[in-house]
Amino acid sequence: MNCGAYTLYAIEDGWIMRHPAEVFPDVEPDLWPPGDLIDGMLRVTWGCFLLTDGSRTVLVDTGMGPLAASLPGDRQAVAGQLPQALAMIGVRPDDVQVVVHTHLHVDHCGGNLTPNGSPLFPNAEFRVHRTELDFWLHESTVPAAPAVQGVMQPLIDAGQVEPVDGETDVAPGVRLVETPGHTPGHVSVVVTSQGTRTFIAGDVSHHPNQIPHPDWVSVFDLDPAQALRTRERVFEQVTGTGTVFAAGHYPPPGIGYIEMDDRKRIFVPGTAVQVA
């Protein structure tokens, strides 16, 4: 879809089927609208977003990529579609100039490397909040930490990782803002261009049902109380403003608007041209 001078592409690197209690353990099953589940399961997207104005190309997150091979064998999942998706829209991996990681959970950075371990985006500068990078590089108790370290260390060694502190512009009109809670250094991406505003949320929210129910806490939030405060703040800032709200785990394409309906917030899916 158009975002002023930029075109925004929503890319599904893959997806996994999860029981809703695996993601939202404190939510009673009967609170889920029937249309949100497939045979009682949630289809959770691993989504990425690409921004380009014809000369600048910014990729937000890289999906699960080859790391999906480490999932238990009984999982119904698909991953590693990012390179094929880029090819469909005419973008080569070496065209990508900036990769932004909203955070370093493996389903957001697993596509950084090819299956043989070389950088998929050899010319890109990787922007990640310094707090986030330091947490994962020194973390030893979170089960995913070794996988994250394995993905990021080759890029650090190659000089491709540029930590950011606070709010930072990574391209004209493309700004990183701090949205901690899900992880310590989580950031979101705000695109402001030609009268349009787009908020790429990362994992501020995992499902549209959190918009009317921000107290639905994901099991993946490392600091649930901070994540809730951030979610409520972001929803308040975006609601009714015409800002496009994009979230990589929402049902594809994961873009829409937050509006008020009968005094409660709801997610209104947006329209986008389907490329493939």
- pLDDT of 140: 87
Q: Give the angle subtended at the CA of 114 by the CAs of 108 and 115, to the nearest 5°.
A: 105
pLDDT, one tens digit per residue, over 164-209 is 999 999 999 999 999 999 999 999 999 999 999 999 999 999 999 9
Does position 70 have pLDDT exceeding 90, yes or no? no
3-state secondary structure (DSSP) of residue 171: strand
Q: What is the DSSP letter of 207?
A: S
Q: What is the DSSP letter of 41?
A: B
Q: What share of the chain is helix, strand, coil (3-state, %, to 5)?
A: 25, 30, 45
Residue in the block written with tokens 């308040």: 236
Does position 73 have pLDDT exceeding 80, yes or no? no
**How far lies 208's CA from each of 19, 115, 127, 230, in Å?**
16, 33, 27, 16
3-state secondary structure (DSSP) of residue 154: helix
Maximum Cα interatomic distance, the chain, rounded to a whole number of Å: 53
**Containing H/E element for 22?**
helix 20-23
Question: What pTM was estimated for this model as a whole?
Answer: 0.96
Q: What is the mean pLDDT of residues 37-43?
A: 94
Q: What percent of the chain has pLDDT over 90?
A: 88
**Domains of the chain (ranges, CATH numbers):** 2-269 (3.60.15.10)
pLDDT, one tens digit per residue, over 106-154 is 999 999 999 999 999 999 999 999 999 999 999 988 888 999 999 999 9
- Asked if residue 61 lies in contact with residue 202, where contact means CB atoms within 8 angstroms, the answer is yes
